[in-house]
Amino acid sequence: MEPRKLTKRAIEAIPVPAEGAVLVRDTALTGFGVKVAHTGRAVFFFEAKVRGRAKRWTIGPFGPLTVDQARLQAKALAGELAKGEDPDSKAKAEELEARTLGDAVAEYLETRDLKERTRQDVTKTLNRNFKDWMKRRVTDLRPEDVRKRYVEVSARAPGEANRAFRYLRAVLGFVQAAWRTPDGEPVLRENPVKVLSAARAWKKLQPRRTVIEPHELGPWFEAVLADPDPVARDFFRFVLLTGCRRSEATNLTWDQVDLVGGKVTFRDTKARRDHTLPLGPYLWGLLKRRRETAGDPWVFSERVTTDRRRQDERFENVRYALNRIQKASGVTFTVHDLRRTFATVAESLDLSSYAVKALLNHALPREDVTAGYLRLTPERLRDAMEKVERRILTLAGIEPGAEVIPFPGAGNGADG
């Protein structure tokens, strides 16, 4: 329609189209206008060229907004454009600056390729230590806030503090890289967690290096074999004699166990690859007997009662069994100490460093040229695995004779 000076009466006089919408531009302010739809709804707009391209901004509906109010907003947009500012860029920047730490954590977890266990730990750790920060704007987090909270958390749990603030640093580093205005400027110019490094405030923690000592293996085995829970008895021996991680054992299903070839495959491990290990005779016999009694799908399953029905579920009550074994044996240990014990025994034998790393599923150094030529298959590792098993059982005073069941075709050098 022809332009006209927009007033309340003029807008009310605009004929409502039968379909679509009509635009009526204001003669008093260039770019200002009203759009009347076939529904009768009228909405104010402002239009102009930005970098040679026509753009239109919606101001708001006629009725809730008067003509004068809408014209003032249109003048404000015109003023921003006259100063070289893009209202869209400004609005985007304001929207980003209003986003919270909770928004950042959610987007970080959605974007990053993390293993589920890590994802859960990040979520729990951040919520436990920064729950009151989740609704704060990321841009409001200050280095002094970080230092104060770190002191508070580290006073009760130094290890927890380091883990929590490393996670926070990763989330805010993601924000620095990903949250940018249309002009390419980062919304968060500096990661406030860096103040801990600048101030050298990180707590220095000694890594755990505890193992079950050779003289402790006898009492430990005795307590394990005497434990009333058959699942716990098998679980702890399995972890010690494979050197696997706790989650690899608790998540193990029968389709990952090859009782014919004497192998077990841990899927999607921490190293982000499958890891196949040959089984020593003692462990092979343990799993063969376990297969006869355990339910599906878990190798280490326990019977639980749910809604008056008994069913098999994955073995999760590790802590209770561990406490029983500690009390009975007098040996203090964690599940991961069993992996360290396996590694220590393996290293003490006449095994190559490549074989030890392969048994533990540790990556070989990229700069090691020789490693690039090696293919350490399960059968190549079988002799090493049996040596480690035999040494642990010897140190524990276990007579493996009754436990040993020879592998069909073992020793033929075939790659299973």
Q: Which of 179, 199, 200 is nearest to 189 (CA)?
A: 179
User: What are the boundaries of each domain within the chain?
Assistant: 8-85, 101-198, 214-403
Tokens representing 269?
């491990």
Please give the pLDDT value at position 373: 46
Query: Over the stretch 34-44, which tens digit does the pLDDT of each residue have?
Result: 999 999 999 99
Whether 101-198 shares its CATH topology with 214-403 is answered: no
Please give the pLDDT value at position 2: 86
Please give the pLDDT value at position 399: 59
Assigned fold of 101-198: DNA polymerase; domain 1 (1.10.150)
Vertex 68 angle, CA 63 and 82, to 5°: 125
Please give the pLDDT value at position 122: 96
Please give the pLDDT value at position 266: 94
Please give the pLDDT value at position 315: 83
pLDDT at 231 over 80: yes
Assigned fold of 8-85: Double Stranded RNA Binding Domain (3.30.160)
**Separation between Cα atoms, residue 123 and residue 134, nearest integer Å:** 11
Q: Rounded mean pLDDT of 212-219?
A: 95
Please give the pLDDT value at position 30: 93
Please give the pLDDT value at position 89: 66
**Max mean pLDDT range (180-194, 222-236, 267-281):** 222-236
Query: Over the stretch 233-261, which tens digit does the pLDDT of each residue have?
Result: 999 999 999 999 999 999 999 999 999 99
pLDDT at 175 over 60: yes
Q: What are phi and psi of 60, to 5 degrees?
A: 160, 170
Residue type, 315: F
pLDDT band with cut points at 50, 70 and 90 for residue 400 = low
Q: Rounded mean pLDDT of 364-371?
A: 55
DSSP string computed for 231-269: HHHHHHHHHHHH---HHHHHT-BGGGEETTTTEEEE-S-
Please give the pLDDT value at position 156: 92
**Domain 214-403 coded CATH 3.40.430.10:** no
Number of C-beta neighbours around residue 339 at 10 A: 20
pLDDT at 284 over 80: yes
**Separation between Cα atoms, residue 339 and residue 239, nearest integer Å:** 7
For the whole prediction, is pTM greater than 0.85? no
Query: Over the stretch 76-134, which tens digit does the pLDDT of each residue have?
Result: 988 888 877 766 666 676 787 889 999 999 999 999 988 888 899 999 999 999 999 99
**Max mean pLDDT range (123-127, 304-308, 312-316, 357-361):** 123-127
